[in-house]
Structure 1
C-alpha cells in the first residue's frame, strides 16, 4: 500500500485516482475548482465513464480516496504524485502547458518529503525536463524528488478496463530506480512494463497517437475501395489481422 496524490480530476486523473485506490492505496486528489470539488466529495463523478461511479463510491466508503484543494495537505505523506492536468491546444497549435507548469510550481512549494512526480498528461517531448526544473526552483533545499513520464493510453468509454488491463505500461526517467518504484506500484496490474528514458517515453505517446490516426485513415481508404469493388471491408480487415 502506498500514499498517492493525483493533481487534477479530469478524465485521466479521476480514473487514475479511483483505480489506484481500488488496488488498496491511499489516494488524495487535488481539485482547485470548488464546485467540482464539492461534487466529488459528495460522491458523484463530474464525468461519465462506465463503472467509474461505482468504483468511486466503493473507495469513498472504504476511506481510500479523498478530495481537497489544499496542496500542503495532499502532499504531506505522498510518496507518488501524479500530474494529470489538461494540456489544451493553444492558438498556435502547440500544447498549452500552463496547467502543468502551475502544478509543478505548486508541488515544489509544498513538497516536504522525498517523492516521485509522475507526469501522465499528454505533453510535448522535453516537458519532463521542464517539470524537473520548475520543481527544483521551488522545493526546499535537501528535499529529493524524481520525475517519471508515464503516458496514458485510456480510451473514453473503456477507461476503467484500459487501466485495469493495460496492453503495456510505459515509464521513462533519468533516474531508473525511480521508474522501477513506479513499476512496482503498477505490479498488481500484471502488465508488460517498458522502462526507458524520459524523452523517449514522452515520444512514445505521440508516436502511438500518430500511428493510431494513420491506421484509421488507412482503413477508411480501404473501406472506400472495398465499396467500389464490392468487397467486405470487415473481412479484409480480419484477413489483414487489423
Structure 2
C-alpha cells in the first residue's frame, strides 16, 4: 500500500513509521520544513522509546520518507491519513478543526480517484461527514472515500500500542474504504487483533468515550484516596482489591496529582461541548473534569501545609515535570500549575526531569535545573516526587536524606513503601495511605 500521513507530529510520525514497519510505503508530510529536514537526517522531534530506531530502520529500507510536498505524495496514494493537531478552541472548548479541514482540501485536490482519506486525528462526531463534503466541493468529479480510524496510543508506549493494539477501530460508510483499511491492517491479523468496523459517527464517539472513561477512573481513584486518608485506609490496597474484579480492571487506578497530557483534558472538554450542543448532559464526565481541575490546587496546598503552612523563602525540589514518564510532553502537566503556584507563594524551585527540560524551559522561569535528582534536592526543605520516572523509583534514600536540608519527602505518585522511607529517617508523605501503614498487609498480587 502507498500511504501518506499528513502531519508528522506525535500521532503522524508514530503511525507512519509503524505502517512502514508493517511493510507499506509511507510518506510523512509536514508543512514545517525544519521538521522534515531533521527527520530526513534521523533527528526525532519527540521523545518516544524505540521510535528513533524504527525510523532509521525504515528510512534505510526505503519504506519511509519525509516531505513537505503534499500534492506529489498524495497523487499516487492508496490511502491518506489526516494526523494534524486538534487543540481545544479558545473561548468555547470545541476541538479546533482548522488544520483538519485545510488538509482535506489539499488532499482532495491532489488525490487519485480511488483514494481513501482517513481521519486519524481525534475529531468530534460528524467530522468525517464534513471532510467528505469538503472533498465533494473541491473535487466533485472524484469518487473519494472518507473513513475514521482513531488512534489509541499511550505516550511512552506508543510503538507497542500500535504494533500490538487491543483493537483497531475503523469507521466506514462504503466497501472500498473497508477493503483498503483491512489491507493496511492485515499484518495485525497474524496476532488476531480485533478489527472493529462501524459507521463513522460511532468510531468518532468510541475515541472520545474511551478517553473520557479512563479520565473518570483517574478522578474516581483520586477521590477515593481522599476518603482513604480520612478513614485510615490504604488506597493502593483498595485499588488492587477492586482492580482484581475483571469488570473493573486494574488500569488507571493509580492516585496522583491529576491527569494531564495531550488527550484527556482536551478530549473530555471536546466531548462535553459536543454533548451540550446536542442537548445531552454528561454529568459523570463533567464531574470527572471538575475533580481533576481542583486536584492540582489541592496538591499545591498539601505541599505548603506539609512545609509548615508556608513555603516563603524555602527551596522545593521537584522530581519529574512531564505529565507522565517516558515522554517529554509537557501539555497539561500538573507541574505547569503547581510550580508557578509554589513560586507565587515564595518558594525557590529546583527541578530534575530526564527528558522534560527542553520543553519545560518555555513554561517556567527562575527554575534551577539539575542534572540528576540528588543535585536537585541539595539543601531543599522538601522533595516532591511529581512524575514517576524509572530513574526516580530506586533512589539512594540515605543519600536523599543527607542532601536534604529538611528530611521531608512528599511522594505524589506513591512510588515508595512508607516503611522504607521512615527507616531511612525521612518524613514521608504519600497519597491515600495512612502514616501507620508500614506494617499493613497487602492483598495478594
SS at match of 2:8: coil
The 1:100/1:163 distance shift into structure 2, 3 A limit, reads: same
User: Larger relative CO (CA 8 A, sep 6+): 1 or 2?
Assistant: 1
Which runs of 5 or more residues in structure 2 are unaligned? Answer: 244-249, 251-445
Corresponding residue of 1:41: 40
Corresponding residue of 1:31: 30
Corresponding residue of 1:171: 170
Corresponding residue of 2:185: 186
Determine if contact 1:87/1:99 at 8 Å carries over to the other structure. Answer: yes
1:139 is displaced (CA, Å) by 2.0
Superposed CA RMSD in Å reads 1.3
TM superposition outliers: structure 1 runs of 4+ over 4 Å: none
| Equivalent of 1:236 in 231, 235, 238 | 238
Corresponding residue of 2:225: 223
1:192 is displaced (CA, Å) by 1.1
Larger Rg: 2
The within-5 A match list for 1:28-177 is 28-91=27-90, 92-139=92-139, 141=141, 143-177=142-176
CA distance in 1, matches of 2:164, 2:210: 18
- CA deviations over 1:149-177 (Å, ceiling 9, x no partner): 01111111111111111111111111144
The 1:239/1:183 distance shift into structure 2, 3 A limit, reads: farther
1:215 is displaced (CA, Å) by 0.7
1:231 is displaced (CA, Å) by 2.2
Determine if contact 2:145/2:176 at 8 Å carries over to the other structure. Answer: no
1:107 is displaced (CA, Å) by 0.3
SS at match of 2:26: strand
Determine if contact 1:80/1:117 at 8 Å carries over to the other structure. Answer: yes
Corresponding residue of 1:10: 9
Scaled by the length of structure 2, what TM-score is found? 0.52
1:184 is displaced (CA, Å) by 3.1
- CA deviations over 1:85-142 (Å, ceiling 9, x no partner): 001111121111110010000001111341111101011100000100111111261x
Corresponding residue of 2:380: none
1:63 is displaced (CA, Å) by 0.8
Corresponding residue of 2:336: none
Scaled by the length of structure 1, what TM-score is found? 0.95
CA distance in 1, matches of 2:107, 2:76: 13
Determine if contact 1:27/1:65 at 8 Å carries over to the other structure. Answer: yes
Count of matched residue positions in the alignment of Structure 1 and Structure 2: 240
CA distance in 2, matches of 1:201, 1:89: 20
CA distance in 1, matches of 2:145, 2:28: 20
Determine if contact 1:76/1:113 at 8 Å carries over to the other structure. Answer: no
CA distance in 1, matches of 2:31, 2:99: 11
For structure 1, which segment, 148-157 or 70-79, has the greater mean C-alpha deviation from structure 2 after superposition? 70-79
Determine if contact 1:77/1:113 at 8 Å carries over to the other structure. Answer: no
Greater per-residue helix proportion: 1
